[in-house]
Structure 1
Amino acid sequence: MKEKILILGAGMIQVPIIEKAKRLGYVVLVLDGSAEAPGMKLADYSFVISTLDAESALQIAIEHQVDAVITTSDYPVNVVAMLCEKLNLIGISPFAAEVCTNKYLQRKLALQFGIKCPQFVKLNFNHLSAYTVPFSYPVIVKPLDSSASRGITIVYEESALADAFVQAKRYSRTDEFLIEEFIEGKEYSIEGLVQQGRLHVLGITEKFLEEAEGMLFPVEIGHVCSVVFEASLQERVVHFADSVVQAFQIDNSALHLEFKLFNNQIYLIECAGRPGGDFIASDLIPLATGIDLLEGLIKIAMGQELRIERSIDRYAGIKFLDRSNYHRLAAYLQQSSHASISRFTIEAYKDAPLQSSLDRLGYFIACDKNKERLIEILDGK
């Protein structure tokens, strides 16, 4: 009898893991709150159920005797952890899942374990009258539990604080939020897999952000991986990642760990117990390194030993279209026959400001042996 995998979520972000599990020969069950989610028709069994409905998910897992439960997005991570614990399956623990989906818990543990992070305070939406920020502007206001930059605002002066509170509340499922100091510097993410307490760093991704007038918060418009630092810094970055994994008790999970480099210091920005989004896990890591991150995640859940071997040594990147570059890049993609571009999607134009990743209008993915040349390709040159 074929082994069964239950995947929480069937949106575009889950389609690659659904397709991967099918190609590996597993029976795939998916649940999603939308019957129109693109992954619903790809699975062997699909259920129109919210990914946050833990009890219904548990009933389905028991009824179908699934062998593994996984997700590739933030919101269902806690449900995955609960199911794995109740059914004695391999996966992230409830403690680690809670930490990875709560920015305040991440900050508290970082301080406890000596991991550098921004200064921060946690506030309640109901107690904001005459509040004074205890550190210098600019600051960041963010919900504890948001993703895709939703509800996050960078605030440059006190007069804009109230509007930032409103934005944070709009995207929060709790009554609390964070105010953090803004850390300068370049932002990166570590993409990894953790099995039986051992972290496998698969690649480091460099982020490129759009910072235009009127934007609430810089939005990612591109990524390049796999970046390698000079030897001593590379060693420090890997040690930093190990420290976070140990502090947050992350095990049998994917790892997406965002950090900044500023004044020769490494600052924790956020940590997630799932693969990197924006096609980092499904496309960029395999194109740059030859490592199949999604297959590795499935192997962890199925109790199979990971064997991580880099077979490719090049750079891979993604560039997103928005209203500022749409017409130029759309024309470039439709006319280009550049062999380095592996695929692209162009959506209908919308004259909407780029306020979160949901406002993007398409993307294209490319790779090259030379990082500078790749960046030129991604810039449409």
Structure 2
Amino acid sequence: MNEKILILGAGIIQVPIIKRAKSLGYVVLVLDGSADAPGMKLADHSFVISTLDAASALKVAIEYQVNAVLTTSDYPVNVVAKICAQLNLIGISPYAAEICTNKYLQRELAVNNGIQSPGYDKLNFNHLDHYTTKLNYPLIVKPLDSSASRGITIIHEESALPEAYAQAKLYSRTDEFLIEEFVGGKEYSLEGLVQDGRLHILGITEKFLEESEGMEFPVEIGHICSIVFAREIQEMISNFALSVIQAFQIDNSALHLEFKLNENQIYLIECACRPGGDFIASDLIPLSTGIDMLEALINIATGQKLNLKRSRDTYAGIKFLDRNNYGRLTDYLHQSPDPSISKFSIEEYKDVPLKSSLDRLGYFIASDKNKDRLIAILDGK
């Protein structure tokens, strides 16, 4: 096979898709702003180019006559879409990419299309002197374009707003940010693929959150996939996902759709046109369903029809280490690892507070037919 795939990003998030594309026989090109990114040495051709440098990425794509362009992280999505549009390659459209990387545009489209979501307001960092919110506390303050929970704060009173603004500004590439009402209930993510307008739901992941140390928003400390609901709830979630992809015009893309269920009401939290991170796409979906999500994503980008067959029906989960559980869980993993644990990685201990997913210190992945037993394994019991 001489077909070439250009992957934007060579960090730890992209390593699984780089390896999968190589194993399928593709010539793999990667670009990343860091020469030391772990995926650089795995590719056939690597380029030290920012994933946000659309002009340089396009030059590489043209010079090497690539057959597909893709990414598995948020920031390069717009560049992927532009290259696909300019070279007539299969991929997400520039319109959908812009929506999926801007939290305010998602809120606006949701309201215009009858999709339930939190009350919100968009503010400018330079015009805050006389702003008084009309929204109901507690409130969430977040950058329009951040990821990994960076710069997100939950506040309960007006006096906390200035510090929340400052946190959002640290992680924003624009002059604007979002303020929205906090919605209670359990949070989930839907992992899917869209090809030629058809949505394929691969699994639903339940999130486990831990209060961050400081004002920031709770950080994801674990996930379990694939959650099954009663039929009427499952149908509601499917219809909700369809309404989102239609409103946002998402096609020929992965779908990572975050939502909350509160008293049988479903609320849009965020939508991304890339696979779920935190090893959801690379490990949890295959372990729980038998579906190779990364191969399927490559098949979409290269124009191959999806043929998704479930060969497993179990639960798979991941637990992250932080400074609070590090000692207990590292002892657990080293001394008596449960046979259900398929993979783990332990980083060197750092005495850093958990403020975002970047502050996690390792992880382990396990699977089990019984959800309660899996939760106990992930808790180190």
Query: Which residue pairs with 1:65 in the alignment?
Result: 65
Partner-residue secondary structure (3-state), 1:304: coil
Offset, 1:213: 5.4
Distance 1:275 1:163 in 2: 32
Offset, 1:164: 0.5
Distance 2:321 2:150 in 1: 18
Offset, 1:184: 0.5
CA contact under 8 A between 1:5 and 1:28: conserved in structure 2?
A: yes
Partner-residue secondary structure (3-state), 1:41: helix
Offset, 1:337: 3.3
Distance 2:216 2:241 in 1: 29
Encode CA deviations 1:245-293: one digit per residue, 9 max, x unaligned. 0000000000000000012100000000000000000000000000010
Q: What is the correspondence of 1:10-21 to structure 2 with a 5 Å cutoff?
A: 10-21=10-21
Distance 1:366 1:158 in 2: 42
Query: Which residue pairs with 2:152 in the alignment?
Result: 152
Distance 2:70 2:329 in 1: 35
Query: Which residue pairs with 1:336 in the alignment?
Result: 336
Q: Tell me which amino acid in the other structure corresponds to 1:237.
A: I
Encode CA deviations 1:297-325: one digit per residue, 9 max, x unaligned. 00000000001111100000000000110
CA contact under 8 A between 2:219 and 2:354: conserved in structure 1?
A: yes
CA contact under 8 A between 2:318 and 2:378: conserved in structure 1?
A: yes
TM-score (norm 1): 0.99
CA contact under 8 A between 1:215 and 1:354: conserved in structure 2?
A: no
Query: Which residue pairs with 1:193 in the alignment?
Result: 193
Q: What is the correspondence of 1:64-213 to structure 2 with a 5 Å cutoff?
A: 64-212=64-212
Stretches of 4+ aligned residues off by more than 6 angstroms: none
Offset, 1:100: 0.2
Offset, 1:130: 2.8
Distance 1:17 1:305 in 2: 19
Query: Which residue pairs with 2:39 in the alignment?
Result: 39
CA contact under 8 A between 1:191 and 1:256: conserved in structure 2?
A: yes
Q: What is the correspondence of 1:223-242 to structure 2 with a 5 Å cutoff?
A: 223-242=223-242
Q: Tell me which amino acid in the other structure corresponds to 1:61.
A: A
CA contact under 8 A between 2:212 and 2:355: conserved in structure 1?
A: no
CA contact under 8 A between 1:123 and 1:177: conserved in structure 2?
A: yes
Offset, 1:47: 0.1
Encode CA deviations 1:213-233: one digit per residue, 9 max, x unaligned. 534110000000000100000
Q: Tell me which amino acid in the other structure corresponds to 1:314.
A: T
> Unaligned 5+ residue runs, structure 2?
none
- Alignment identity in percent? 76
Q: Tell me which amino acid in the other structure corresponds to 2:295.
A: E
Q: Tell me which amino acid in the other structure corresponds to 2:227.
A: V
CA contact under 8 A between 1:255 and 1:271: conserved in structure 2?
A: yes
CA contact under 8 A between 1:291 and 1:308: conserved in structure 2?
A: yes
Q: Tell me which amino acid in the other structure corresponds to 1:141.
A: V
CA RMSD, 1 decimal: 0.7
Q: Tell me which amino acid in the other structure corresponds to 1:168.
A: A
Query: Which residue pairs with 1:29 in the alignment?
Result: 29
Distance 1:169 1:142 in 2: 9
- Report which stretch shifted further, 334-343 or 242-251: 334-343
Offset, 1:346: 0.7
Distance 1:214 1:53 in 2: 34
CA contact under 8 A between 2:212 and 2:219: conserved in structure 1?
A: no
Q: Tell me which amino acid in the other structure corresponds to 2:71.
A: T
Encode CA deviations 1:60-91: one digit per residue, 9 max, x unaligned. 00000000000000000000000000000000
Query: Which residue pairs with 2:350 in the alignment?
Result: 350
